[in-house]
Structure 1
Amino acid sequence: MKKYAIIVFVLFTVFVFGQHKSALKITKLTGDFYVYETYKFYKNKPISANGIYLVTNEGVVMFDSPWDTTQALPLLDSIRKKHNKEVVMCIATHSHDDRTGSLGIYNQKGIKTFSTKQTDEICKINVEERASNLFEKDTFFKLGQYSFKTFYPGKGHTPDNIVIWFENEQILYGGCFVKSSQAKDLGNLSDANVLEWEKSINKVIQLFPKPKYIITGHQRWKSKKSLKHTLKLIENDIKESIQQIVSHT
């Protein structure tokens, strides 16, 4: 019976992914910027996660890593075939496994992996994959012809979430700190601080008022309204929490 159960599960997995989307999807954003989508099963449903990578003349920089380790190496292979370049750097934007899940594999491959010290401390406590290089403050990076900066807006989706800003291209990589315009709620709040998230989002809106592109951690990312939508979701969540408190007093 166990053998048949395994066969049924494998066939179901293949069927669902085949009906839903490819387990790995790469879409050109603009210029040398690409969005990659990987998937993981959660409650028997394939859930997508967005990351980005940037092709420079000194190699490819990946922002976040696939949470499904079975897609980590296929992603590297796809990038190599598509651009004839190797991934040389990977930066995780917070401690959840949809951002850090494949850091261990990339460390083994000799890719320079990065995270904040705050992210590393959380990963260490939770016995999760950790980056090999750490930074503490907002940091400016330059690789080849491109430069970008990490920015810590404050607590939000997690206490350690950062965003990436590409000044010349006006691209904001928000990761899971920024919710998709398609999102109906704030999603995973297990490590969230909703009250602080409101302040943090407003800070990002003030610093980066008119980005050309905003890449979110999940769902649809082709919208310039995702920052304001996130703020609206936060405000709705706070109102609901207040109403629940009032109704129980």
Structure 2
Amino acid sequence: MKRLLFALLMLSFGAVAQQKLHSSGRLTITTLSENSFVHTSFLQTDDFGKVACNGLIIRSGYEVAIFDTPTDDRSSQELIRWVRDVLKCKIVVLVPTHFHSDCLGGLAAFHAAGIPSFANEKTIELATQNSMSVPQKGFSEKSSLLVGAKEVQLRFFGEGHTRDNVVAYFPAEQVLFGGCLIKELHATKGFLGDANVNAWSETVAKIQAAYPLVNHVVPGHGAAGDAKLLEYTRQLFAKP
């Protein structure tokens, strides 16, 4: 009965993105499309203050994949409980899209819950070098996941925000999770400590060519949007 009521609630949202489903001091969860949701947690930084950090939840049937952990174990545990208790789904995989703490800061909580993790081999290498929680299995360049009956594509298009940043694409609902490689509209360049700014624009151009049909784009920080976020990011880092 609870799942039926939740499904009816989802239908009532229609095409309205970012309808809040859960909110606490540590974590918010909002709708993006029928079977995708944005989870947002918070990271205290020296340079930018308290920063909201996005991840993505993809659902198919009774299975869920999560892209990027919340920023710490407590908010990750909260997300795991929400998927279990509200979506009534099993988390089949966690994918950090690069090695920074806003992507894998809560990885230990997922491993403790028996949830497997999968990442770019470069992410595993960089996480190990930086004494961070390390994803369990790796892929090179590209891979795909089966979540329920639906495919999610994972690809490394090149360097940008980091040397390991990958994106995830959910063809069934044309949802692209760009992570910190993609900026929200009107954003600044942000943290560049591990960036390749010379390659960034070309990397985004490759994403645009590979995924011309995109309804929703989720950046690592800030508001989700559409393909305009890709073009904005490409131009932001274009060589003068």
TM-score where L is the length of structure 1: 0.82
Q: Give the letter for the 2:220 counterpart.
A: G
Q: CA deviation at 1:222?
A: 2.7
Structure 2 residues not aligned, in runs of 5+: 1-23
Match of 1:176 in 2: 180
Residue equivalent to 1:155: 159
Q: What residue is the counterpart of 1:34 in the other structure?
A: 37
1:213 aligns with 2:221: no
SS at match of 2:117: strand
Which whole-Å CA distance do the structure 1 matches of 2:111 and 2:30 have between them?
25
Give the root-mean-square deviation of aligned CA atoms: 1.6
1:44-83: per-residue Cα shift (whole Å, max 9, x none)? Answer: 9421001111122242211110112221101111222211
Q: Which has the higher helix share?
A: 1
Separation in 1 of the partners of 2:44 and 2:94? 24
| Alignment match, 2:105 | 101
CA contact (8 A) 1:38 1:66 kept: yes
> In the alignment, does 2:144 pair up with 1:140?
yes
| Structure 1 residue 22 displacement after superposition | 4.0
5 Å-filtered alignment, 1:50-129, equals 50-129=54-133
The question of whether the paired residues in 2 share the 8 Å contact of 1:76 and 1:86 is answered with no
Cα contact 2:121–2:139 (8 A) shared by 1: yes
Task: Out of 138-147 and 43-52, give the one that drifted further.
Answer: 43-52
* Equivalent in the alignment of 1:202: 205
Q: For 1:31, give the aligned amino acid.
A: E
Q: Is the 8 A contact 2:108 2:133 kept in 1?
A: yes
Any conservation in 2 of the 1:181–1:223 contact (CA below 8 Å)?
Answer: no
**Partner in structure 2 of residue 187 of structure 1:** 190
Letter of the aligned partner of 1:53 in structure 2? Answer: I
Closer, same or farther in 2 for the Cα pair 1:90/1:203, shift >3 Å?
Answer: same
Conserved in 1, the CA contact under 8 Å of 2:141 and 2:157?
A: no
Superposition TM-score, scaled by structure 2 size: 0.85
How many residues in Structure 1 have an aligned counterpart in Structure 2?
216
Q: Does 1:164 align with 2:165?
A: no
Q: Are 2:59 and 2:147, in contact at CA under 8 Å, matched by a contact in 1?
A: no
The Cα shift of 1:119 comes to: 0.6
> Identity rate of aligned residues, in percent?
28
Q: Distance in 2 between matches of 1:41 and 1:86?
A: 30
* Structure 1: tracts of 5 or more residues without a match: 1-20, 240-249
